[in-house]
Amino acid sequence: MRIIKLLFKNAFRHKLRTWLTILGMTIAILAFGLLRTLVSAWYAGVEASSSTRLVTRNAISLVFPLPISYKDRIRQVEGVKLVSYGNWFGGIYIDEKHFFPNFAVEPKSYLELYPEFVLEPKQEDAFLKDRKGAVAGRKLAERYGWKIGDTITLKGVIFPGNWDFVLRAIYTGKDKSTDESQFFFHWNYLNETLRKTIPRRADQVGFFMIGIKHPGLAAEVSVAIDKLFKNSLAETLTETEKAFQLSFISMTEAIVVAIQLVSFVVIIIIMAVVANTMAMTTRERLGEYAILKALGFGGWYIAGLIFGESLVITLIGGAIGIAATFPAAKVFSTALSAFFPVFNVAPETIIMDIAAALIVGVAAAVVPTSRAISIRIADGLRRIG
């Protein structure tokens, strides 16, 4: 306890300098934590992917459709347990600024494939029975103040016209990583309307969602499905849900890499700041260290004082920065909800914050410690006064 008390007293001898260094460390850890959380949010869809779900799409591009008739043939493939399907609808609510993902899906099989979307039984039943019924995530409903029974109008871009839906259910996520900002409705409603207005676009889907019996069958089932439609007018590409999500992230990989680099640059900068603080502190106390040497205290004791003081400063700043990350992430989550529906501070981020604070504290003390240990007693005593 005495040594800890001594470390704190030493750290706060020059209060202004210490608090400014702690402030810098706090800001650095806060920035580092938020940037790492942003990277995690970028990969949220990948992390939430199930190993028992596959996605089948057109081999050329996702924008090209597939015949709905493929469903029955896919269902017959060995290892396939369930098949659902849908289209990216891409409707606009109010204007382009109010973006959220919206899909037309086969409701019963889709909900069975996604148990992480939790609906109240009565609401689920009402949704399944209403041809114009729709489901919205909890965060999405809260953002716009939607309530069960509200009529929601989306302006079609891919599918022209104004489309009216009745909100029949609001789902909540089974865990924190579940996206609660999606909107989906009956694929039959979309298809029946297209049969009347644009017949050539009816009976087509953008993707098939496939549930398999075991994760180990993913590769085998994917190859079997694509082989079924080889040399057809609409060849398929089947991949795991995780690979499907990663294909979108790969388009913005440069941005993700840039964010990761910036997060580490922030730590390097604050390392230089703390190192400068410790260098100034050590230079001021060389006389004291010389006296300790004269009294018989070894280099390890002096090293412990310098490293301990550095760690006290960085860990205090790190602790404040970590504590500030949670309310800051909540603010960012609200502001960026349209782009990052899942913006949670992961335990891994906290571990990286602590590790960063420790690394900065240790690295910043290396050079000052080396100088303090190597100085001769006579040279140190000359600096007294």
In a domain, residue 53? The reply is: no
Question: Domains in the chain: how many in total?
Answer: 2
Query: What pLDDT band is residue 292 in, cutting at 50, 70 and 90?
Result: confident
Residues β-bridged to residue 86: 105, 207
How many CA atoms, within 13 angstroms, populate the side-chain half-sphere of residue 49? Answer: 20
- Domain end marker among 177, 203, 234: 234
Cα dihedral 243, 41, 170, 242, rounded to 10, equals: 10
What domain range includes position 261?
2-44+252-381
pTM for the full model?
Answer: 0.74
In a domain, residue 240? The reply is: no
In a domain, residue 33? The reply is: yes
In a domain, residue 55? The reply is: no
| SS3 at position 377 | helix
Same-domain check for residues 221 and 262: no
Same-domain check for residues 369 and 316: yes
Contact between residue 83 and residue 112 where contact means Cβ atoms under 8 Å apart: no
Same-domain check for residues 30 and 114: no
Please give the Cα distance from 64 to 373 (Å, whole number): 70
Q: Comparing 377 with 87, which gets the higher pLDDT?
A: 87
Same-domain check for residues 265 and 129: no
Query: What pLDDT band is residue 306 in, cutting at 50, 70 and 90?
Result: confident
Same-domain check for residues 106 and 182: yes
Q: For residue 49, give the amino acid letter.
A: S
Please give the Cα distance from 6 to 231 (Å, whole number): 78
Same-domain check for residues 304 and 155: no
Please give the Cα distance from 3 to 311 (Å, whole number): 13
Please give the Cα distance from 340 to 137 (Å, whole number): 14
Same-domain check for residues 218 and 262: no
The alpha carbon dihedral of 139, 144, 147, 152 has a sign of negative
Contact between residue 178 and residue 48 where contact means Cβ atoms under 8 Å apart: yes
Same-domain check for residues 292 and 339: yes
Q: Note the pLDDT of residue 12.
A: 85
128-167 residue pLDDT tens: 999 999 999 999 999 999 999 999 999 988 898 899 999 9
Q: Note the pLDDT of residue 210.
A: 95
Q: Please, what's the largest Cα pairwise distance for the chain?
A: 98
In a domain, residue 267? The reply is: yes
| CA-closest candidate to residue 264, choices 163, 198, 359 | 359
Residues β-bridged to residue 84: 209
Q: pLDDT > 90: what percent of the chain? A: 47
Strands 102-105 vs 183-186: parallel, antiparallel or unpaired: parallel
| Token pair belonging to 340 | 């990052």
In a domain, residue 161? The reply is: yes
In a domain, residue 195? The reply is: yes
Same-domain check for residues 358 and 266: yes
- Domain end marker among 234, 262, 284: 234
Same-domain check for residues 268 and 152: no
Same-domain check for residues 195 and 322: no
Same-domain check for residues 71 and 203: yes
In a domain, residue 49? The reply is: no
Residues β-bridged to residue 153: 164
